[in-house]
Structure 1
Amino acid sequence: MQKKLSRRQFMAVSALAATAATSHSRESGNSSSSLTPANPGPGAWFNWLDGDAPKVATGQTWGMPWPRGKHRASTRFSVRDASGSRVAVQTWPIAYWPDGSLKWTAHATSATASLGAGPFEVVPQAAKSPDSSSLSVRETDASIEIDTGVLRCRLRRTGKVFIETIARGDRNVLRDAQLVVLRQDRPETDALGAIARESFDSEIERVTVEQRGPIRAVVKIEGKHASANGRRWLPFVVRLYFYAGSDAVRVIHTFIFDGDEAKDFISGVGLRFAVPMSDVLHDRHVRFAGEGDGVFGEAVRGLTGLRRDPGAAVRAAQIAGTATPAVEAFPPYVAQRLDLIPCFGDWTLLQASADSFSIRKRTAEGHAWLDSDRGRRSSGLGYVGGPSGGVAFGLRNFWQSHPAQLDIRNAVSDAAQVTMWMWAPQAGAMDLRFYHDGLGQDTYEKQLEALEITYEDYEPGFGTAQGVARTSEVMLWALAATPERRRFVELAAALRQPAAFVASPQTLFESDAFGGTFSLPDRSTPKRAVIEERLDWQFDFYAKQQDQHGWYGFWNYGDVMHTYDADRHVWRYDIGGYAWDNSELSTDIWLWLYFMRTGRADVFRFAEAMTRHTGEVDVHHLGRFAPLGSRHNVMHWGCSAKQLRISTVLNRRYYYYLTADERVGDLMREQIEAAQALRAIQPGRKLPGERASKRPPPDADHAWLGFGTDWGSIAGAWLTEWERTGDAKMSNRLLASMRTIGGQPKGFFTGAQRLNLNTGAFDISKESNVSISHLSAAFGLPEVCAELVQLLDVPEFERAWVQYCELFNAPAAEKQRALGGGGDPPNLVQGHSRLTAFAAHRRNDPALAQRAWREFLGGSAGYPATREFESTRIVGPAVLNPVDEAAWVSTNSTAQWGLAAIECLAFAGEGLE
């Protein structure tokens, strides 16, 4: 049944529409964002993320939610704009409700789709047929050929080159694309003697066509990097995206570190290809994007500034990037001396830090570099080519993911070589080693002592980067000629902030696709207005902190810090468990729920970067600890607490369903059997009472799981896979675990039990002790249980979960009466107020709803209602750079406050009156 808006919500949505143009500026980049307009009426509506149609069309993919029972799996869809005009669309299902009806569908439109200003609607009717520019895929044993109607791409199935050619018209503009990695045996800072260096090229192992049109094609390429001496390492996954009518190829590149961080120092990770060059040297052009509208544009052989003037027409053409007049039309005193003008074949843009880039050029190897220009934050777009064609190439989040580098080499030859370095060789080698020597912590007792002083959970051999991954996004444009400067600026903007479609907040809300865990913004009463303002303030504060404290870099971008140090006026970047947050207390979920209710573009991109980071860098994807994540630490992979609560699917599924992103889909599937890792890596292994009795042999068919952070995470993986595929094995595991939790003597308050890894059933405890952890419901358990109660009819599970929700924050006497124990004062009362709100919702109990708001507004272990949400400006000499400080803010409290505010409004809104 379609979810209905209350009168208050309807009025709030109307108010939201009136303020849709309100911009939320951010100091962390050249971006502005606006609230998504309210829907024109009932229906499944979506719009441009940034509110306006993009100037660069590349094709779009997005996800749409549907209310339960609304559409059968066989339903066909079309897209139409507000005027009723229909647009061709490619559709596929990405999730189902338990009754088999569609829960989420993904849709793709071509680059030639006539989509101006939105909003747009997805409607259940046969899609309009694609036009003549529809995409085609042809496979042979040796290659795959994709034709978008504008470009033709030939991919290889074996070898080191995965893109053989990209052609536009009758000319190849790109060929021989491959991956390159540079390795050395020590970092420059440690080198007392010669450094041994070697290079590696991509070696293809498997190529899969995941989609073949007619509008969108996706090709997945897997392999490893290989050297001349036979070493094969650093597994990679590359996906190539093609859209009908598009001149662009989107590349999603992932590599996984499987080396020895004490010996394998990576000094370069890049994508390399050749660009055929046929134009005369003075018609060959190089472009680099700077910050904002800035463009660096020069020719390989410059004709401006010479002692002898070639003429205004020649100079104007070269500056514009168009073909100059024939040499015969040049003045003789210039035409006869062209060979005496130095030609610059090599060019480099290096973004060494988040706030500085430089551009240099030289004539050829063996000669000095000239400093050409410099700036602050490059957009990461380059170009090489001429009037007969060329390639624009860009690395998204260029300055945010520094050090990054764009190289053009041999532009004077018949083929320029381009290397897009995701890790810049000129910046020195990356150092993935742990940051201290262990400080003598060779026993669990010593490690627990250290935890008391630095909050760092150290264990020898656990602070390894083996298995962590990094994903980057690349764009390639096959262009018919050198782009005019204004067009180059538009391409740079499209790289910085790719156009995206997103379902409207109202459509997301009405679908009930996430268990009713959020409502729409409502400022209709003073109390509600304050909460909405504080939700906005919290995100804006973190966005500003990211920029002021430099939460950037190849391995860092997307994460936030955990705790603040008011004495130094910095976040505790160097103190054990207080540094990088690594999803602690559900930061990711807070951001995604906040985005879905507001539609803010800046929130989406902040959360997107976090999803990329926390799903890749904070998780071990191979090796001893796979597929577990690492708790918060100075190093993202440094903590010895390898846990499901960090690698959890619950942090990824929002982005997946909103975008249908295949890489995130891989990450979620990776977690299906993650509980098996707990046989060897027990979260509670250092605690004296849990060491021996709860650690099964490595080949056991069971593992010990807590009902909170452990089971909530694995239940999220099973639920998501079941929704995506309908796999009965996943639903059977879910049902078995839910029934056996409901069958425990104290339900969720039993705390933990032995899980059968094959069936999903827990052993039933023979004890009646009460176990309560303040962290059990802090990592996505409330959100996944809200969905499970909604989806599956398991009365004993619902009773156990609602009991837990009602009693966690209840007075000690009430717990004693209901449970016979568990009377200790609870922690994180404010965060757990959302549990009380859920119990009020399921029991339809106004008194519980009012209690939830007392708990929330009281602010225990969080922010009380009396707290002023404001910051103070700190300037030199107290700090190196001015910062806006709110010393009372912690990320734990912020994430839990945000989740509690959003879910209390959703489940117990009437209790706030």
Structure 2
Amino acid sequence: MNRFVLHRRGFLGASAVLASGAAWAGPANAAARASAPAEAPLGWLGTQPPASFEGVTWGTPWPRGHVAAGSSFGLHGGDGSAPVLQSWPLAYWPDGSLKWTGHALGPQPSVPHHYRVTPLATPPTAAPTLAWEEGGQVVIDTGVLRCVIPLSGERLLERVERQGRAALLAGHLVLEVKGDPDQPASPARRYRSHVSRVVVEQHGPVRAVVALYGAHDAVEGHGQLLPFVVRLYAYAGSDTLRLVHTLTFDADAQQDFISGVGVRFDTPLQAPLHDRHVRFVGANGGVFAEAVRGLTGLRRSPGEAVLRAQVEGRSTGPLAGFGEAVASRLQYIPAFGSYRLLQAHPDGFQISKRTAAGCSWLHSATGERAAGVGYVGSPEGGVVFGLRNFWQSYPAQLDIVDAHLDQAQVTVWLWAPQAAPMDLRQYHDGLGEDTFTRQREALEITYEDYEPGFGTPYGVARTSELVLQLVAATPSHRQLQRIAERIQHPPLLVAPPAYLHSTEVFGPAWAPAGQQTERQQAIEAQLAWYFDFYRDEVEQRKWYGFWDYGDVMHTYDAQRHVWRYDVGGYAWDNSELSTDLWLWYYFLRTGRQDVFRMAEAMARHTGEVDVHHLGRFAPLGSRHNVQHWGDSAKQLRISTAANRRFLYYLTADERTGDLLSEQVEALRTLREVVPGRKVGQQGDPRAGYASISFGTDWGAIAAAWLTDWERSGDPAVAQRLRASMESIAAQPHGFFTGVGNMELATGRFDIDARGTLQVSHLSAVFGLAEICGELIQLLPSARFEQAWLDYCRLYNAAPAEQQKALGAPLARLNLAQGHARLTAYAGYRLKDPALQARAWTVFFAGSGGIPAPNRRLHRVQPPAYLYGLNEPDPVSVIDAHSDTRAEANLSTNAVAQWGLAAMALLALDHALR
């Protein structure tokens, strides 16, 4: 048996105790070791322990200097338990101490409400690994499951045994593609997965992670489509496998219409047909339960005990215990071997069944929302299979085929083949926008930045989460209900807001929620109302679907009582003005489960669907549009690592880590795709240089480099980041220079000797303010801090003050309310109460934002709209360009910036006191 020898990056993620962190070694580590032991309190997201538990992975933050790199950790439950813990580093502080650590806990006999993570004085004893290479395959052995994973070929899983019994065979991916639906129908082309590379990312002792990379191969003919990465997760002592499946779209949107994407496997069945069982779970907890050959409702009864056993999924016993009238006629009772659950839209599913191919489907049940969890097996065991966010990511489908034969086949369809194929074509024909002048004119009317060839889905991605649980017996309805709840809402351990804040891991721009003053109470109530409104609006407007779930809309249209879903750049939000950050900081403040789930869904969506991961635009994101990828503004402000860091650090999710790594060299794409080309920005013709704005571009670059530096400890990354900071500070007007040419390899900007004065209202509203707050803590630079504080102090200053400092007043700028948090930050750093007071004044004045936040809804009834809905009253806004007050529709931009400013002002006001 050949145990894996992992490369360094893999080892950092796979070690049972923390890696040495050699890049950080130094006196600071010795100081950290000598400091008092740290302790991190943890509780369950949503406060209650999970009713069904098969393991959990999470991230824990630590204060600077408290925990040395190379430390190992122990876990202590509130019930006195001390379960085995697997730990690894996620991030380091500049002094070399640990900033974030990842942890894994396997299944437990009981799960207490609270835990504590503490550094250990001595490392734990060596424990067996869960994954290794053996005979050209990877083997995972949890003690309950033994999984065989080929190193290449069409199968993700060759075989999975549960305590020596084969339970799952031939696991692979399937893909179906059709031609143009506007043309005569053509046969679907079929593809199967082809794995080209397998990487063991963690091998235990508590958790194993195996990543499989490949693409879908045509079954007949040649060619590949849709590259994928599938990660398999397993915990020691568990009978459950988790799959995180990511596909990337590389087809021709004009010709290739994806009609089915799924995960398929076989499961052996040996029990009599009347002891074979099928289950589907509804989102409401209800269970559809049938046997392949039903014994209930017959003209003759096999006996009450037999009927009760079949309904409960237990063995019905030998035929001798059946009534003779039934036992001798079993062959005449139809055996339904195939079942299908189709969720074609978010409010409707249908279950059908049939006996065999060539026979009709019978309608079995209809409901609103399915949990996306099914089961096939017998009293001797079977497979529970589930797709997370099943109805939210419609169209989805669960298929069971041949359950009447020796081997049933199960397909979990991420895109249902019974639904219409994906149509990812541009939603209009270009509207004659074949010149720059026409494109700029169109931008003035629909707010859509169109350019031929840019509105392509090529390179966008989608991540789905699946669970396979190989059980020892047919689960009861209550057990299935609990399993479905775990699949849809995976347990997560989190630190409380007060502890998170005390560690300072996410900078100074937030603090735990408080209710000390009347003003604070009012702001907290408004923050809660805004979040509740958007959470409820997701449901009211049905913002669901495979490509849409996780996003919200940009601007409301009160005349039609709809969001502007069909109007150019006013439709899907695509992270515009930091909606993601608003949700994440609000979660940090409150610890609310519903806030986390919405932020998590948005992070999954905006990091995958709104970003090109292949092709000429990779890895840039797309600006807000009717289609997530439709806008020609391909920019770092959308793909920014600033929006992903929270999910990565709180959950230790490997796929999110991939997205963070993807952004480290994203700036190189800016050489070919100049972000501000429509407004006069010119690319740098020199090789190795690019024109980069100091706001939306550099803010994203700084977020990517900061995150990479704290994850890797690579001093070269810190040097590159510092060079960019220092060369911004060295500009004649610092951040007010606006844009510069950067040497990409070093991060250094050319100095603008012309003394250009340029500023955009968008510069600081895509994470720049928050990232600069962290940089000043982590990479102290007096020159950079002064440049940033000048920007924070002067943006909302009076023209006379701007004239004195810069030689000229700034052009009339927008978003003053959102920029109030910059003024507050300057007051905090300079310990200037006058600046702090000015920040509050600007915030409440609401210029370029919401001066009078609204908490009122009115009811719109048919026939004014298709169905009854709750609509917000119009809000009063002030146009920053004219200082006029008007009634306006709801704007996600304004709400996100109001929320970020409110949270920052509360936090910085408290810190200054």
Please classify the TM superposition score into its range, dividing by the shorter chain length.
over 0.9
Deviation at 1:832, TM superposition (A): 0.3
With a CA cutoff of 8 Å and minimum separation of 6, indicate the structure with the bigger relative contact order. Answer: 1
Which of residues 334, 341, 344 in structure 1 aligns to 2:333? 341
**Partner of residue 315, structure 1:** 307
Query: Would you say 1:695 and 2:671 are equivalent positions?
Result: no
Equivalent residues of 1:276, 1:414 under 8 A apart: yes
Whole-Å separation in 2 of the counterparts to 1:715 and 1:336: 76
**Partner of residue 710, structure 1:** 697
Whole-Å separation in 2 of the counterparts to 1:869 and 1:194: 52
Query: Would you say 1:827 and 2:814 are equivalent positions?
Result: yes
Query: Would you say 1:138 and 2:132 are equivalent positions?
Result: yes
**Partner of residue 772, structure 1:** 759
Which of residues 82, 85, 99 in structure 2 aligns to 1:86? 82
**Partner of residue 674, structure 2:** 682
Deviation at 1:292, TM superposition (A): 1.6
Q: Which amino acid aligns with 1:491?
A: I
Structure 2 CA distance for partners of 1:762 and 1:845, relative to 1, 3 Å: same
Whole-Å separation in 2 of the counterparts to 1:128 and 1:366: 60
Q: Which amino acid aligns with 2:684?
A: P
Please, what TM-score do these two structures have when normalized by structure 2? 0.93
Q: Which amino acid aligns with 1:896?
A: Q
Whole-Å separation in 2 of the counterparts to 1:741 and 1:696: 17
Whole-Å separation in 1 of the counterparts to 2:164 and 2:699: 56
Whole-Å separation in 2 of the counterparts to 1:127 and 1:606: 38
**Partner of residue 210, structure 2:** 219
Whole-Å separation in 1 of the counterparts to 2:126 and 2:50: 21
**Partner of residue 32, structure 1:** none
Q: Which amino acid aligns with 2:92?
A: Y
Equivalent residues of 1:873, 1:882 under 8 A apart: yes
Equivalent residues of 1:383, 1:391 under 8 A apart: yes
Deviation at 1:423, TM superposition (A): 0.2
Counterpart secondary structure, 2:677 = coil
Deviation at 1:166, TM superposition (A): 1.2
Equivalent runs, 1:852-863 vs 2, <5 Å: 852-863=839-850
Equivalent residues of 2:149, 2:156 under 8 A apart: yes
**Partner of residue 817, structure 1:** 804
Count of residue pairs the alignment pairs up: 861
Counterpart secondary structure, 1:816 = helix
Deviation at 1:239, TM superposition (A): 0.2
Q: Which amino acid aligns with 1:182?
A: E
Deviation at 1:727, TM superposition (A): 1.4
Which of residues 249, 252, 261 in structure 1 aligns to 2:253? 261
Q: Which amino acid aligns with 1:321?
A: G
Counterpart secondary structure, 1:255 = strand
Query: Would you say 1:494 and 2:486 are equivalent positions?
Result: yes
Equivalent runs, 1:615-634 vs 2, <5 Å: 615-634=607-626
Whole-Å separation in 2 of the counterparts to 1:440 and 1:844: 56
Q: Which amino acid aligns with 1:566?
A: A
Equivalent runs, 1:395-794 vs 2, <5 Å: 395-687=387-679, 689-690=680-681, 694-697=682-685, 700-794=687-781
Whole-Å separation in 2 of the counterparts to 1:339 and 1:128: 60
- Percentage identity across paired residues of the two chains: 55
Whole-Å separation in 1 of the counterparts to 2:216 and 2:911: 58
**Partner of residue 60, structure 1:** 56
Q: Deviations over 1:449-471 (max 9, x none)?
A: 00111000000110000000000
Query: Would you say 1:108 and 2:95 are equivalent positions?
Result: no
**Partner of residue 864, structure 2:** 878
Deviation at 1:813, TM superposition (A): 0.9
Equivalent residues of 1:135, 1:244 under 8 A apart: no
Whole-Å separation in 2 of the counterparts to 1:803 and 1:52: 47
Q: Deviations over 1:449-499 (max 9, x none)?
A: 001110000001100000000000000001111111111111111112111
Q: Deviations over 1:560-581 (max 9, x none)?
A: 0000000011100000000000
Equivalent residues of 1:362, 1:369 under 8 A apart: yes
Structure 2 CA distance for partners of 1:83 and 1:357, relative to 1, 3 Å: closer
Equivalent residues of 1:234, 1:256 under 8 A apart: yes
Equivalent residues of 2:78, 2:112 under 8 A apart: no
Counterpart secondary structure, 2:391 = coil
Q: Which amino acid aligns with 2:78?
A: A
Whole-Å separation in 2 of the counterparts to 1:42 and 1:541: 39
**Partner of residue 174, structure 2:** 180
Equivalent residues of 1:287, 1:298 under 8 A apart: yes
Q: Which amino acid aligns with 2:407?
A: A
Query: Would you say 1:899 and 2:886 are equivalent positions?
Result: no
Counterpart secondary structure, 1:162 = strand
Deviation at 1:858, TM superposition (A): 1.1
Query: Would you say 1:203 and 2:203 are equivalent positions?
Result: no
Query: Would you say 1:118 and 2:139 are equivalent positions?
Result: no
Equivalent residues of 2:38, 2:118 under 8 A apart: no
Query: Would you say 1:801 and 2:788 are equivalent positions?
Result: yes
**Partner of residue 356, structure 1:** 348
Whole-Å separation in 1 of the counterparts to 2:39 and 2:862: 54
Q: Deviations over 1:835-863 (max 9, x none)?
A: 00110111000000111111111111212
**Partner of residue 282, structure 1:** 274
Equivalent runs, 1:292-331 vs 2, <5 Å: 292-331=284-323
**Partner of residue 390, structure 1:** 382
Q: Deviations over 1:541-569 (max 9, x none)?
A: 00010000010000000000000000011
Equivalent residues of 2:50, 2:111 under 8 A apart: no
Consecutive unaligned residues in structure 2, runs of 5 or more: 1-36, 876-889
Q: Which amino acid aligns with 1:355?
A: D
Deviation at 1:293, TM superposition (A): 1.7
Deviation at 1:43, TM superposition (A): 3.8
Equivalent residues of 1:135, 1:245 under 8 A apart: no
Equivalent residues of 1:149, 1:245 under 8 A apart: yes
**Partner of residue 25, structure 1:** none
Whole-Å separation in 2 of the counterparts to 1:884 and 1:46: 38
**Partner of residue 8, structure 1:** none
Structure 2 CA distance for partners of 1:116 and 1:680, relative to 1, 3 Å: same
Structure 2 CA distance for partners of 1:75 and 1:403, relative to 1, 3 Å: same
Consecutive unaligned residues in structure 1, runs of 5 or more: 1-40
Deviation at 1:114, TM superposition (A): 4.4
**Partner of residue 368, structure 1:** 360
Whole-Å separation in 2 of the counterparts to 1:415 and 1:426: 23
Structure 2 CA distance for partners of 1:493 and 1:819, relative to 1, 3 Å: same
Equivalent residues of 1:772, 1:822 under 8 A apart: no
Q: Which amino acid aligns with 1:867?
A: P
Whole-Å separation in 2 of the counterparts to 1:168 and 1:304: 31
Q: Which amino acid aligns with 1:506?
A: A
Structure 2 CA distance for partners of 1:113 and 1:647, relative to 1, 3 Å: farther
**Partner of residue 878, structure 2:** none
Deviation at 1:87, TM superposition (A): 2.3
Counterpart secondary structure, 1:380 = strand
Counterpart secondary structure, 1:849 = helix
Whole-Å separation in 2 of the counterparts to 1:53 and 1:458: 49
Please, what TM-score do these two structures have when normalized by structure 1? 0.93
Counterpart secondary structure, 1:208 = strand
Aligned-CA RMSD value: 1.5
Whole-Å separation in 1 of the counterparts to 2:566 and 2:627: 9
Counterpart secondary structure, 1:149 = coil
Whole-Å separation in 2 of the counterparts to 1:128 and 1:375: 51
Equivalent residues of 2:67, 2:119 under 8 A apart: no
Deviation at 1:901, TM superposition (A): 0.7
Equivalent residues of 2:38, 2:67 under 8 A apart: no
Counterpart secondary structure, 2:678 = coil
Whole-Å separation in 2 of the counterparts to 1:736 and 1:769: 21
Q: Which amino acid aligns with 2:807?
A: G
